[in-house]
Amino acid sequence: MPAQLISGRDIAATIREEIRERVAALKESAGRVPGLATVLVGDDPASQLYVGMKKKAALAAGIHSQQIQLPGDTPQDELLGVVHGLNANPEIHGILVQLPLPDHIDEQAVLVAVDPAKDVDGFHPVNVGKLSTGALDVLAPCTPWGVVQMLLRTGNDPSGKHVVVVGRSNIVGRPMASLLLRRGRGGDATVTVAHSRTPDLPRVTREADILIVAVGRPDTVTADMVKPGAVVIDVGTNRVDAPDTERGYRVVGDVDFEAVKEVAGWITPVPGGVGPMTIAMLLSNTVDAFTASLDRD
């Protein structure tokens, strides 16, 4: 029997409706709403699209949205000044600097400049450190946090399961492992992190009750690499040539979907799987940052 599909679109829609209700309740009780600021440097079309999607989603949830677009030749000091201004702005509770930044700007210097309490991307070293030590009151990176929600909301609680994460990036692989290792709901898993230097990768992946793949390479995981009945989460987004299509390409994940779905118990499609969860968790982090600020006031 083919695997059951895990629809990120459906789960994200549910979360966004929950967020809309949370924001409405906060507006009623606190008289204010969360604020999200996005900063875009340059005119990269993909980045403009992503920022526009985030703004639209924020407004639909009732979140105040401020979008700042700067020229591609903006000096680093000027960008840092914008970030510091947002840090001091009481109407802004979440700050997102869209990556990648132009080559003349030190990305790490900019990410570190964001107030950790407003770091809704979860990339600030303070938040990375808190997550790695198992803290629960932390703004976690949106994509891996979204994966945890997908598992919980489909009845695939990782507690007590062997989870293999293929990929060790700072954006997905490493924080994914940290989230799964935490005590409590959504954690308590036994985690193996595999990567390009892992010997006999198929042997490792076949041991997984839950297999999460985030390497950025099409068809990395094939059917013979998956334990029958396993949950397979495909974080990859890759463009492959498809001359027969109108766009000339199609979007695929890191998993050979058609073959693996015949072996797995659950599987995420690409597109429509993990992708929609990222914006949903960005909004969730923004609301969490807002409620934390109320507690500090």
Write the burial class of residue 274 (CB in 10 Å: 0-12 exposed, 13-18 middle, 19+ buried): buried
Closest CA to 64 of 44, 36, 84: 36
CA–CA separation, 217 vs 154, rounded Å? 26
Which secondary-structure segment (H or E) carries 64?
A: strand 64-70
Is 119 a catalytic site residue?
Answer: no
Q: Which of 48, 77, 103, 121 is catalytic?
A: 121
Partners of 255 in the β-ladder: 221
Query: Per this entry, what is the length of the chain?
Result: 297
**CA dist 55 → 61, 68, 134, 227, 281 (Å):** 10, 11, 31, 40, 14
Is 48 a catalytic site residue?
Answer: no
Is 44 a catalytic site residue?
Answer: no
* 3 state DSSP class of 265: coil
Q: Which of 98, 130, 254, 288 is catalytic?
A: 98
Residues 6 or more apart whose CB falls under 8 angstroms from that of 232 comprise: 3, 211, 213, 221, 226, 255, 260, 264, 266, 267, 268
**CA dist 207 → 99, 211, 236 (Å):** 35, 9, 21
Write the burial class of residue 124 (CB in 10 Å: 0-12 exposed, 13-18 middle, 19+ buried): buried
* 3 state DSSP class of 105: coil
Q: Which of 10, 27, 44, 54 is catalytic?
A: 54
Catalytic residues: 54, 98, 121
